[in-house]
Structure 1
Amino acid sequence: MTTSSNPLNNIRIVLVNTSHPGNIGAVARAMKNMCLSQLYLVAPQKFPHDEAVWRAASAADVLDSAVVCETLDEAIADCQLVIGTSARERTVPWPLLDPRNCMQEAYKEAAGGHKIAVVFGREDRGLTNEELQRCNLHVHIPSNPEYSSLNLGMAVQVMAYELRMFQVSGELDGNALADWDQPPANAEALERYLVHLEETLAEIRFLRPEAPKKLMLRLRRLYQRTRLDEMEVNLLRGILTSTQYWVRKAKAAEEGEERGQQGD
């Protein structure tokens, strides 16, 4: 899907493993109210479904164009900014914003042609830790602490409203990435780099069983926060590939020496 001159067309709402089809319809209605149209569904339990169409009211076109994916990685692969909704505090904190500030960042980048995903989790337990680790930013709706439960349609409506207000007002600060010489790396490229990094760290024996359990989690947070561009990811992967080459060459030489000593 290509970028659009309308920033809202570069922003997708991603629902993960939604259990109630009526909630999907309510989300479609909330989106259309605020001029959003890109709906991605990750492994929905019941879709398509008549209840989704009924709850969508006059937003059936949003449902008709919804993209169904098997995994979250598939839904966000080409996105350059991924935002996860989170209601819980984490032992390893992630960059956390309120809806207004977070959607301002999303809208600014969308206006620059970047593809954005705003990810919502399951009705009963939200996003898993692993899914949240795929996100650059987390957003939290500061609801009543004595009654903080929001249904899925309401949560999407809050985010969609903030996005719409930035479009209507046109009041935006500058986008720090607007004049960058390379586009930000998308989620798929960054994930491939992180997998490559973990493999390399294991090969050089930096990542061992006795290493801190959250070492890779903290490295993941570092790179998600940094917002690498496409060339930077390619450069870093080139460094990892060269590192692996020389490590493997050294290991082969050591093994050759050992075999020679055993032959003596």
Structure 2
Amino acid sequence: MDKQNHLGNVRVVLSHTSHPGNIGAAARAMKTMGLRHLYLINPRHFPDPQADAMAAGADDILRNAVVCSSIDEALQGVVFTVAMTARLRDISIEVKTPREAMPELLQQAAQQPVAMLFGTEMSGLTNEEMGKAQVLVNIPTNPDFSSLNVAAAVQVMSYELSAAAQDFVPRVQEVQPASHEQVEGYFAHLEKVLFEIGFFTTQNPSRLMQRLRRLYARARPEAEEINILRGILSVTTEYNARLKKRYSEEHSDVQEH
């Protein structure tokens, strides 16, 4: 498989971009490094003449950009996501440099879609958005001036990806990674069951689910493993329903007597 086939499975996802010029500049950065799939989550202004101007010849990237209303829509079908972050504290998801993360991204891209996720200019990605990723990436910068324009971040990541792809040979991969929607379906199922069995009685549901997401991000379950886990949840629900029914019947008999 050549370099272009590797890069053809890579999506660049920009979340809630406020300045259209950054979208155009990101498209230009992508095209210079051989990337072509741009996804935009709720951009404030797009299409826009400023985006066209800053694209400087990467108009085809803008024309084919996919505008999405949610992060789940943008990541549909993706099996591996790296998310950009400038924050290093209070994060238990693995954080790597671009050079460390790109070979792993390419390995997954050899067979199925992957994504590089970038946040809004002012505040970056939300905790919820970062929770959708398997790996976080931090670009090493001057600690006294760490602000990096989103288009510049796309350029750095695209370069590192292109450089890693030059001599990249994918490993044989026999397992089927779980897709984004499979993983999200599991988390929705897990949260529902934890509510049903009363696990959240003394827990903060959102914080606990965030920690569970981090745990599974480190584990990176396969598609078949997700099916097994959901089977366990289904049996748990059935068992809990039987217990409730038995309890109700027993207490009904006591009240009658």
Indicate the TM-score class for this superposition, using the shorter chain for normalisation. over 0.9
Indicate the residue corresponding to 1:95 in structure 2.
94
Distance 1:8 1:171, change over 3 A: closer
**CA separation in 2, counterparts of 1:211 and 1:70?**
28
Structure 1, residues 47-105: CA drift from partner, whole Å, max 9, x if none?
01111011101100000000000001110121000111000124242100001111121
* Match runs of 1:137-176 below 5 Å: 137-168=135-166, 170-171=167-168, 175=171
Q: Which moved more, 1:88-97 or 1:39-48?
A: 88-97
Q: What is the DSSP-based 3-state SS (H/G/I as helix, E as strand, rest coil) of the residue aligned with 2:18?
A: coil
The 3 A distance-change label for structure 1 pair 213 and 6 is closer
CA distance in 2, matches of 1:213, 1:43: 24
Structure-1 separation of matches of 2:192 and 2:249: 24
What stretches of structure 1 move > 4 A for 4+ residues in a row? Answer: 210-213
Normalised TM-score (structure 1): 0.92
- Aligned partners of 2:253 and 2:76: how far apart in 1? 49
Q: What is the CA distance between 1:213 and its match in structure 2?
A: 7.0
Paired letter, 2:11: R
Q: How many residues align?
A: 255
Q: Is the 8 A contact 2:24 2:51 kept in 1?
A: yes
- Structure 2 gap ranges (5+): none
- Distance of 1:39 and 1:171 partners within structure 2: 23
1:102–1:139: 8 Å Cα contact kept in structure 2?
yes
* Counterpart selection for 1:179 from 169, 173, 180: 173
Query: Which residue of structure 2 lines up, in the alignment, with residue 85 of structure 1?
Result: 84
Report the aligned-residue RMSD.
Answer: 1.7
Q: Does the aligned pair in 1 maintain the 2:4–2:34 contact within 8 Å?
A: no
One of 207, 210, 229 as aligned partner of 1:236? 229
Q: Where does residue 249 of structure 2 map in the other structure?
A: 256
Report the Cα distance in structure 1 between the residues aligned to 2:251 and 2:230, rounded to whole angstroms: 31
Alignment of structure 1 residues 24-173 onto 2, 5 Å = 24-111=23-110, 113-168=111-166, 170-171=167-168
**Any idea what the Cα deviations from partners look like across 1:168-210, whole Å, max 9, x if unmatched?**
2x145x64xx332x31001111011112112222222333234
Give the deviation of 1:212 after TM superposition: 8.5
Task: Tell me if the contact between 1:92 and 1:218 (Cα under 8 Å) persists in the aligned partners.
Answer: no
Structure 1 residue ranges without an equivalent (≥5) = none
TM-score (norm 2): 0.94
